[in-house]
Every structure is written in C-alpha cells, then in structure tokens.
Amino acid sequence: MNGVKDPVGTWRLNLAACRTGFPWQTPRHMKWSWTSILAVLGLATTGCRHETSVGPAGAAVGTAAGAAAATSTVIRHVDAGGAERLIADGKVVVLDVRTPAEYAAGHLEGAQLINFSAPDFATNLAKLDRQQPYLLHCATGRRSTAALKVFEELGFRDVTHLDGGLKAWTDAGKPVSR
C-alpha cells in the first residue's frame, strides 16, 4: 500500500509513493476514495422517483418539489406516438406554449394556448387546475422544456412533455388544426 491507515480506518495518501508509480498503477486506497465519492453522490439522488415513459422511446421520469409545491411534480417525456395515445384516451389537457402567431399557423386539436414568452406566463399558468394532467409542447421542445420548471414551482401534479414539440408531431405524420 502507498498510504498509512489512520485510527479511524481510512487511508491517508502517501504522496511520495504515488509520484513514483505509473499513471495506470493507481494505489488501491485511491480507488476506494473515488468509490466513496461516487457512493455519496449516489446517496444524494436517492430521493428521486423514476417511472417509465409512455412513448416507445422511453425516457426517465423524475420528481421535483417546487418552492410553492405541496406535492411533487411528476414529469414524463413522450414521443409523438405516446402523445397521440394520451390525447386519444382523453386523460390530458394539451397546452401549447408557443406564440399566438405560431398557434394560428397550426396546433394540436383542442390545445390551449399559454404563451411562454408573455410576461404574465406564470400568472396565466397559475390559473389552471394543478391536479389535472397536462400534455405540454412548443415548436421544437426548447420553450416547453424551460416551462417545466415553472410547472414544478407552481406545484402541478402531472405534466407530460412532448419531446421535439410540434415539429416531432408533424414529422411523425400527425394532424394539426388551423
């Protein structure tokens, strides 16, 4: 060993001994140090809950408690096929966070418009039922991904994100309303 064991049972590094070896000859006690660091980082994330995505692509689902949230927000990620199934089941309210002009050019059937770029976005979002499941999208997924944080902060219970946005929807050959 290139170290000395202290009374607590941990290894102290003998730097002089480490400098004499080759880079691939890492002392065993240094490997334990990295393992310990990784274990601590793993413990820091044990409060997360994960579920399987609705879409066949499969994406991790995490929970996060917002500052104003009494319960955690479950966020799911789906592809166009998964979103189509959710809409067909009638279990979600579709929210479009694009601009009014983009919405007028084409949107998902029955989607409600709440402009993410508007200064009163959070105020308008706060007027919605937080217990209702929502399907969220924008044009490509950038704005709707940013909007997820606001959903968490406001304490929405269940939000599903259409990955790739309306572009992914239309690329999959799904219909839009005008």
Q: Are 107 and 113 in contact (CB under 8 A)?
A: yes
**Cα–Cα nearest to 59, from 171, 170, 160:** 160
Sequence spans of domains, the chain: 3-44, 62-171
Helix or strand or coil: residue 140? Answer: coil
Tokens of 167: 């572009």
Interacting residues of 30 by C-beta distance below 8 A, sequence separation 6+: 13, 18
The mean pLDDT of 108-132, rounded to a whole number, is: 96
Gap between the Cα atoms of 125 and 128, Å rounded: 6
Is the pTM value of this prediction over 0.85?
no
Look at residue 99 in the predicted model and tell me its pLDDT: 97
Tens digit of each residue's pLDDT (9 = 90 or more) over 41-71: 454 443 433 343 333 333 333 433 334 444 6
Q: Which fold has domain 62-171?
A: Oxidized Rhodanese; domain 1 (3.40.250)
Q: Please count the other Cβ atoms lying within 10 Å of the Cβ belonging to residue 48.
A: 12
Look at residue 91 in the predicted model and tell me its pLDDT: 87
- Indicate if 138 belongs to the active site: yes
Q: Which of 114, 136, 138, 168 is catalytic?
A: 138
Q: Please count the other Cβ atoms lying within 10 Å of the Cβ belonging to residue 54.
A: 21
Look at residue 15 in the predicted model and tell me its pLDDT: 46
User: With 50 as the cut, is the pLDDT of residue 108 above it?
Assistant: yes
From its phi and psi, is residue 174 left (phi > 0), alpha (psi between -120 and 50) or beta?
A: beta
Q: Are 91 and 98 in contact (CB under 8 A)?
A: no
| 132 φ, ψ (degrees, to nearest 5) | -75, 135
Tens digit of each residue's pLDDT (9 = 90 or more) over 71-101: 689 999 999 999 999 999 998 999 999 999 9
Q: Any idea which residue has 């050959």 for tokens?
A: 173
